[in-house]
Amino acid sequence: MQNVKLDPAPVEVEVEVPGLHWAGFAGVVVLVLATWLPLPSVLVVALGVIGMAAFVVSWLLLGRRAADVSVRRLYTIAGLVSLPLLAARPLFSGDVYSYLAQGVIAAKGLDPYALGPAAALGAASPVTLQVSHYWQDTPAPYGPAFVGLSRVIAHLVGESVVGTVLLHRLLELIGVVLLAWALPRLARRAGVPPSVAVWLGLLNPLVLWHVVVGVHNDGLMIGLTVAGLELVYLGAARAGAARPALIAAGVVLVSAGANVKIVAVAALCFVGVDLARRARPAGKAAVLVGLPVGFALVTVLITLGSGLGFGWVRALAGVSSGAVHSWLAPTNELGFLVGGVGKLAGLDLTDSAIKVFSAVGAVAGLVVGARLLWLTYQERLHPLLGAGLAFAAMLVLGPVVQPWYLLWMIALLAVSLTTERARWILAGVSAVLALVLPPAGGGAVALVVGYLIAAGVVGATLHLRRASLLQPV
């Protein structure tokens, strides 16, 4: 078991990574052009996936040398490959249009936690029509911090899609900057090479796809969370008045992240258990009581300050119930399997089976979470690793899974996985999920044919590359 290291000393080296970052940059440019130009859907998918694959392959190759690359150099590469994405339209998901609708609803003085876009704005509203039909009747599932920011954006740009995308992308970039600041610092505390953590947690294609270009608020949430964790541990290493001030600032940031998406509160549980373990007997109760009270106080202040009320707590129940069945959620897949078998017997069991497996998953998740907290308290598990594994358990056992949800665990596992094998497993999962979701839709035929074309081109390119390397000089 490794203890939290309280006095990290940055050590960086510099090596060249010729061609790798430019190959990734070229792939990103192909992705952006393919989704901007007026091309047939098949070509949009094919070229988009080819560009995505080019970046993913270059990212994996860079990972083989990441420990020898300076953090500063990796920051430069991250900025380089992000530039084209900033000019792209939202890809991989249309959730930003739901953010637009929720902000407009709140700006009109209506309750975004009680009304979906169709009920609040009308089914024929241009704003409502931008929202996926799955979510047109769904109230906002996000915390008051995020919906409050969406309302501010709506006040600034009204119903402008372009203005909304740009300002929400700016919000998510703030999360990315916080992530970039915190990752190497937390990695040093956990005994992980900082550059490896930055490669795996910041340059990860899922961050680029789903935060920089996809504009998901998970980026803001995880950025606030990891920055808050770093401040807490920075405060724990200090003495005097700086100690409680830094810890309090960290709790505020993590709590703010939870007021974007409530799942961030799990990270606060692990840091609280760790601080309580290391505190003197008289201080244990102060930590175990002070952190929950601090979280509650921040949440109440944000809720009251936003003027949105506490309806967001009720709205969370609709999300956790899994109103839309996610194919990536293992508990749902078991339900679909039982439902398929039931159909052979003429029975409609799918919805009931999914509810049962979701309930079982929820109970199992609580058990796993409690076990991880106990292991952390016993010093058998690093608190950052425990939090990352808790997020992983949420994904495996939860009712709703999306590729961008992996960002919850990726950031914390990137700074806490101490074995190369474990890091490469995480990188492999990231690479696969970075390629399974197309950048844009276009119908089943376009998706199948587009992916087949992309697979052929990528496979042929890798084969030729391998053959050239085997040629005698």
DSSP string, 406-468: HHHHHHHHHTT--SHHHHHHHHHHHHHHHHHS-SS---HHHHHHHHHHHHHHHHHHHHHHHHH
Q: What is the dihedral of CA 137, 130, 177, 221, to 10 degrees?
A: 0
pLDDT (0 to 100) of residue 19: 60
pLDDT (0 to 100) of residue 317: 64
DSSP string, 156-214: HHTT-HHHHHHHHHHHHHHHHHHHHHHHHHHHHHHT--HHHHHHHHTS-HHHIIIIIIT
How many other CB atoms are there within 10 angstroms of residue 160's CB atom? 14
Count of all residues that appear for the chain in the document: 473
Q: What is this structure's pTM? A: 0.88
Residue 97 token pair: 């249009």
Contacts of 18 (CB under 8 A, 6+ apart): none
pLDDT (0 to 100) of residue 191: 92
Q: Average pLDDT per run of 10 along the chain, which is 473 residues long? A: 45 51 88 92 93 94 91 93 92 92 94 92 91 88 94 94 94 96 96 96 96 95 96 87 89 95 93 86 79 92 91 72 63 79 78 83 91 92 94 87 90 95 95 91 85 89 65 48
pLDDT (0 to 100) of residue 23: 84
pLDDT (0 to 100) of residue 337: 82
pLDDT (0 to 100) of residue 225: 96
Contacts of 472 (CB under 8 A, 6+ apart): none
- H-state helical runs in 307-349: 311-320, 330-344
pLDDT (0 to 100) of residue 353: 80
What is the H or E stretch that residue 271 is in? helix 265-278
Q: Rounded to an integer, what distance in angstroms lies between the CA atom of residue 263 and that of residue 257?
A: 9
* Gyration radius of the chain's alpha carbons: 23
Q: What is the DSSP letter of 112?
A: T
